[in-house]
Structure 1
Amino acid sequence: MSGGHFHVHGPHDHAVEHGASHGGHGDGDNFASRIAVMTAILSTVGALFSFQGGATQNDAMMFKNSAAIKKTEASNQWNYYQAKSNKQNLAELSVALTEGPKKAEYLKEVERYKAEKKEIKDAAEKLEAQVKEFEKKSDIAMHQHHRWAQAMTGIQIAIAMAAITLLTRKRWLNVVTGISAAGGLILGGLALAHI
């Protein structure tokens, strides 16, 4: 007592004094410290999973975009092929309706259009193969993105359970936290292994 005033200690003051007199290493403090460290580690792992999930989603979109571009190029080639077919048909009609030296000229055009069409068809088929490859890569990247998202969900559940454990001081909730974290880590391992 100083100056004739009463000083009443509240529960909080008592807990602070008790913690200070024991060097802050009481059982409750260790429990809270362990939960805090575990939450920090889970948050770091979650940030890495989130980054990987975003990166694989971007990859999937880029592959899908490349597939769309190649599909347009293939369509243009097929349109070009059709135009050459029309010209070939006109040249063949001209062969049927013409006699003499002009007929030979039209026959040369027919052969030229056949050769050009083969090159155009080969280019279009090559572009279509590239479309399929880009779409396959996009599907693979999207599957991997889903794995990373599932892993991140497991880690987020573990972080939430850690907070509930800390608030309720129910030690058995640590088991649920551990199971959620393990599930998230396993899913993250599957994503890393491209499974």
Structure 2
Amino acid sequence: MSGAHFHVHGPHDHEVEHVAAHAAPDSFAGRIAVTTAILATVGAMFAYEAGATQAAAMLFKNNAAISKTEASNQWNYYQAKSSKQNIAELGAQLIAGERGEKFAQDVERYKNEKVDIQKKAEALEADSKAWDDKSEATMHLHHRWAQATTVLQVAIALAAIALLTRKRWLQYGVYGVSTLGVGLGLAALAHL
């Protein structure tokens, strides 16, 4: 480029511009390119959903473990009250009089306390099971999203092969595999 804004093209530059301006568009390559772009976009959305559902499943599993631990703590508390009740029953049998009566009252108190502790422990166990079930269902969805993503990645790889080999039957294979991948994504979306 000179100071007078004069630009000299080389012979190769001129030929590339000429071919680009006058060449017929390659509809095969264009369809494959558009298909690949669409598949990559849909695949990215499926991959996001796969990651999101996996994270949710782990959180649900964590909640199940927390509830299970709290239930275990309640059962330990229940066992401690049972031990105290047994000692109080022994005291009531061995000691007569006012102290024996105090032990008998303790036995009744421990029995009543154990009922509430047992209810709380059973509720926590049920809560843990509910979180566990929710985690399993969400993990199933994660697998569906991951399957859909994988199938779309295979379709993109087939698209590259179709473009390189220019085989029309591979192009139709891309469409078939893509349909399967989208179908798996729709199954995940429908929670199947």
What TM-score results when the alignment is normalised by the length of structure 2? 0.90
SS at 2:168 equivalent: coil
Q: Name the counterpart of 1:77.
A: 74
Q: Name the counterpart of 1:54.
A: 51
Q: For structure 1, which runs of at least 5 residues remain unmatched after alignment?
A: 1-6
Q: Does 1:116 align with 2:117?
A: no
Q: In structure 1, how many angstroms separate the alpha carbons of the residues matched to 2:17 and 2:190?
A: 49
Q: Does 1:20 align with 2:30?
A: no
Q: Name the counterpart of 2:182.
A: 185
Calculate the aligned-residue CA RMSD, in Å: 1.9
Q: Percent identity?
A: 55
Moved over 3 A (4+): 13-19
Q: Does 1:103 align with 2:100?
A: yes
Q: For structure 2, which runs of at least 5 residues remain unmatched after alignment?
A: 1-9
Q: Does 1:155 align with 2:136?
A: no
- The one-letter code matched in structure 1 to 2:87 is L
Q: In structure 2, how many angstroms separate the alpha carbons of the residues matched to 1:17 and 1:170?
A: 28
1:167 to 124, 147, 164: 164
1:131 to 128, 152, 161: 128
**Matched pairs, number:** 183
- The one-letter code matched in structure 2 to 1:174 is Q
Per-residue Cα deviation, 1:81-109 (whole angstroms, up to 9, x for no partner):
00000000000000110111222211110
Q: What is the deviation of 1:20?
A: 2.0
Q: In structure 2, how many angstroms separate the alpha carbons of the residues matched to 1:47 and 1:138?
A: 23
What TM-score results when the alignment is normalised by the length of structure 1? 0.88
SS at 1:194 equivalent: coil
SS at 1:172 equivalent: helix
Q: In structure 2, how many angstroms separate the alpha carbons of the residues matched to 1:43 and 1:8?
A: 38
